[in-house]
Amino acid sequence: MNSGDRTAGGGAARGSIAPSRQYQPYIEAAWGFKNAWYPALFSAELAENAVRGVTIAGHEIALRRIKGRVHAIQDRCAHRGVRMSLRPRCFTDDTITCWYHGFTYGLDDGVLKTIVASPEDPLIGKVRIRTYPVEERAGIIFIFVGDEEYAPAPPLAADLPVRIADDANPVAHILDDNTYVRGVHRRVESNWRLGVENGFDPGHLLIHWDNQIVAATDRRMGLGALPISEDAIKIIDEPNGPKGMMNMYNLRAYKFFMENAAIGMKARGKKPYYARTSVFLPGLLLVEHWPIPGWAQYEWYAPIDDKRHEYWEVLVGRASNDAERREAEYLYDAFFEPLALKDFNDNDVFAREAMQDFYESRDGWNAETLCAFDEATIVWRKVAARFNRGIQEPPARRTAR
């Protein structure tokens, strides 16, 4: 787990190679990684025969559910470029019609089928807008975003966490049967990479030191964790499967700080708590045994553009019968969402948005000065630079090409 020089910007030695060059593809991925599965909507957010527009990594996409199946199609009419989802028109089950002049496209192939205002137009059958692969699993609609010619799309499981096997009580996987899956998503005014790195940052627990969930559960979270062993971080490289890294939190691999004598600060709570974090491409965090043992929190940081991301906070637990589902529903409503997804994670959102100006306007990727606990961040950047399926281009560059 040798990441090279850990300092950057003002901390780099004169004449040394800027650490950012060790993971240059990651630095270039302001718009995200392409040819990957991203969450678009919860299933409940797209009713039968409804149309919703989303933007993922600069791709503007309209989703329509018809006869239970979700279709995804480019959300810009080829004619004058308006977004069709702004005022959806759907006259048949297999098409979507632009509200402005009536250009009508097939949902399956994107081909122009007719034009309401010009039904004999020679363009009919010759113009096409793109469509996107869709998977709907675990109450979430996923879209494969990237190059249209990238086919076949890999299985959805390749862009999800590995199944946990090295735990005496492993958490459920989101694709398992008999699970309870529920969460929220919201727009955050920061680049997606700041979201990912905040999610697993071993040194950021200060912003959670006095959160309500810590007091309510009396858990001893600590002030920070420093990797001290080559085994502290495990690289995940499954053949044709998930790629990422796992923080192997244990006393042999990490040094945990429970107090800082210089300022007289100590960790709150008395109950030791285990919550291992992993991060996977294209930008997904898994926190095991959080907010309570037996549960898992999934967090996607889906790029919208180079300045904003859609932050997905999804909890997964086991529920094999109606009684367990009712209990899960109660825990989610009374505890998980208000204390974990809102109060606790609101602090993470604040941190990401506070960093945005530095990285957007002040050359933060080269001006940052990283310290010892940032080893995990550097490893993630290298893993992401190595295993991604391509760097997403800005929309203007894609159009020009």
Kindly tell me if the per-residue pLDDT of 358 is higher than 70.
yes
CA distances from 81 to 36, 55, 340 (A): 25, 15, 41
User: Does 3.30.360.10 match the CATH number of domain 36-134?
Assistant: no
CA-based nearest residue to 243, from 160, 174, 187:
160
Superfamily (CATH H level) for 158-387:
Naphthalene 1,2-dioxygenase Alpha Subunit; Chain A, domain 1 (3.90.380.10)
pTM: 0.93
Strand order in the sheet with 36-42: 36-42, 140-145, 134-137
At 111, list the tokens.
Answer: 């081909």
CA-derived radius of gyration, the chain: 23
The predicted model gives 127-151 an average pLDDT of 97
Provide the H-helix boundaries in 106-249.
192-200, 212-217
What is the rounded average pLDDT of the residues 226-253? 90
Region 115-134: what's the mean pLDDT? 98
Q: Could you report the per-residue pLDDT of 140-185, keeping only the tens digit for each?
A: 999 999 999 999 999 999 999 999 988 999 999 999 999 999 999 9
Q: How far apart are CA 69 and CA 371, in angstroms?
A: 49
Give 5's pLDDT tier (boundaries 50, 70, 90): very low
- The model's pLDDT over 244-291, given as tens digits with 9 standing for 90+, comes to 999 988 878 888 898 999 999 988 888 887 789 999 999 999 999 999
Q: How confident is the model at residue 110 (pLDDT cuts 50, 70, 90)?
A: very high
Tell which residue, 276, 263, 250, has the closest CA to residue 209: 263
Q: Compute φ and ψ for 281, nearest 5 degrees.
A: -70, 145
Domain ranges across the chain: 36-134, 158-387
Amino acid at residue number 137 = R
